[in-house]
Amino acid sequence: MAAIESRDVSVKELFRDFYIVPSYQREYVWEKIQVRQLLEDIRAEQQEGSSSEYFIGSVVVCPSQTRQGADDLIDGQQRVTTLFIILCAIRDKLSSLGEDSLEGIKKSIVDVDTDQDGNDCLRAHLEPQYKDAGNVFNDLIEGQPIKKAETRSIKNISVAYSTVRQFLSDDLEDSREEIKKFFGYLIKNVKLIKIYTDSFGRALKIFETINDRGIGLNAMDLLKNLLFMSADERDFEDLKECWKSIVDDLYKINEKPLRFLRYFIFSIWGVPRLAKDELYEWLIKNDEKIGLKNNPVAFAERLKEALKAYAGFLNKKDHYGNESHILENISFLYRKHTSARQYLVLLLAGRHLSSEIFSALCRDIESFLFVCILVKEEIRTFEALFARWSLRLAKVRTAEDYRIFSKETFQSQKRKHANKFHITFKEMDDRSLPKYQFDYVLGKLTQYVDRNAYGGNSPLSYYCNSREVHLEHILPRNSDGEVFKEFGSGADDPRLISSIGNLALVEKSINMSLGNKPFSKKRCIYPESRYLLTRIIAERPNIGNTAIDRAVLHMHPFDEWNRDSIRQRAEWLADLACVVWDVPIDDYGKGLGIGE
């Protein structure tokens, strides 16, 4: 035969041969939407007339490396598997409707084959060897209910089967005649291009050509193909296990594979800009420095190691697997936005650092991210910047190295936004940020003062526990006559009520006793709080503790609460914020006496 043969085949012709899905192939990933779309497209084309044909793509096969007389399915696995599931579902539906003439469809699913000893045996036309398939195909072939989904692949296969059964009931109205007509159209008029090659290596090269620039498959799939194409067959098992671990871990953390791959590349090679559809081409062009083809197993292991650290960061753990309160703080900033993860580029680049220096990096990232959030600077605009910083971060070895790096990167960028940060913070209210970010702000301020006064290591989550810690409006949101009499005009001004200067954190039990009382009565209650930033609103603690004295030295209790009080407290909190988030403004925060 020729080295490469290609021809149009119908589904009926396709399933005259036997196919193996090799163990290194990715699992079945089609979901309900893709299966439903395929069924609807075939149905729509069928209704155009019995002579119309519907093309659904190509498949690439080569002689099986595991069983004589079968072909390894190199490309087209998802389509072929879906077609096989459709055939099984149609067989089961027709059987449930009392149809006896099922030999044709049964033969497309299972047929007689001859083994190496010349004996006849029954074989399924599709046999997946990847582990995630489990025994689900035995259930499909035998028409048995699919057992509990233990893997994502089994879940997807089960959903695909149910989707087909639902389509046959809803769209074809459980009509035996309509289902048979649909089956007839499917096996005779639905066409594919079957490309047959004489070797595995040639099949992989055709696969790569068909999917050039990510058409049909994404860069992660093409990367996998390239690794297997470059690897020695003796390394297939190791490479297969390594790749399966990567795919499984990405699924566990619900991360987009291409985002991780981009950040991995940025963190090591400092690429300034790289779109998702440019990833594979970049890998090919830069293979000399990457080493994909020379040592594919080593590259896969490097990717796996980076992903382990990456997953840990998302789970608020450092690269040693230790819980990190600073990474937890970052999660408070982006609780609702899984797309805002550009900072992971820097964490990946810094995973070689000692624990002490890595913690300093995390603190810098946290403060930098918050500054950007407050001044409305889009973090995604810093993607190229983070990539360039990664190259510099890779050279950091000592605390002094890192101090210089931090000064020339984070500090330099924050200085550009410093004045705007202070002004914006001073004018902020509880409507300026989403609630979870505003909780972070008050929690962080309160935590910082407490730590400097009392020491300890209470995490930010302690201060952001909405069940136990409440937001106190010093000027109440619902003012009565007594409040108006004390505060004067403007007691119902929402700008004053929501101002950062009018807000504090209090314990749930204390908040219940505060209610909507005027300040003259609340002054007696604030000192009962354990939070020093709240207590100082009404009185200065004087318990002879030097650390506490220093922490509250420049905090001023208020004798009365009015417009000026709110403005003054907002100004002071803005000064404090410059200290807490390490914003380098020379004129602010000098006299706070905190952290000196």
Q: Give me the residues paired with residue 9 across strands.
A: 192
pLDDT per residue as tens, the chain (596 positions): 567 888 999 999 999 999 998 877 777 889 999 999 999 999 999 988 777 899 998 899 989 877 888 999 888 889 999 999 999 999 999 999 999 888 989 999 999 887 777 777 888 999 987 767 767 888 899 888 887 767 788 889 999 999 999 999 999 999 999 999 999 999 999 999 999 988 776 776 676 666 554 334 567 877 887 788 788 878 888 998 898 899 889 988 988 888 999 999 999 999 988 887 788 778 888 988 998 888 999 999 999 999 999 999 999 998 888 999 999 999 888 875 666 789 999 999 999 999 999 999 999 999 999 999 999 987 777 888 999 999 999 999 999 999 999 999 999 999 999 999 999 999 999 999 999 999 999 999 999 998 888 887 889 988 987 788 999 999 999 888 898 889 988 888 999 999 999 999 999 889 888 988 999 999 999 999 999 999 999 988 765 566 666 655 677 899 999 999 999 999 999 999 999 999 987 654 444 444 33
Token look-up 């799939």 returns 221
Strands 110-114 and 120-124: antiparallel
Smallest Cα–Cα separation from 423: which of 574, 261, 317? 574
Token look-up 């006793």 returns 513
Indicate left, alpha or beta for 291 from its phi (over 0: left) and psi (-120 to 50: alpha).
left
- Reading the block at residue 210, the tokens are 């068909």
Q: How many Å from the N-terminal Cα to the C-terminal Cα in the chain?
A: 82
> Cβ contacts of residue 490 below 8 Å, gap of 6+?
496, 563
Question: Would you list the domain boundaries of the chain?
Answer: 4-210, 225-413, 435-592
Listed in order, strand segments (DSSP E) in 484-563 are 503-507
* Rg of the chain, C-alpha, whole Å: 32
Listed in order, strand segments (DSSP E) in 144-279 are 190-197
Number of residues written out for the chain: 596
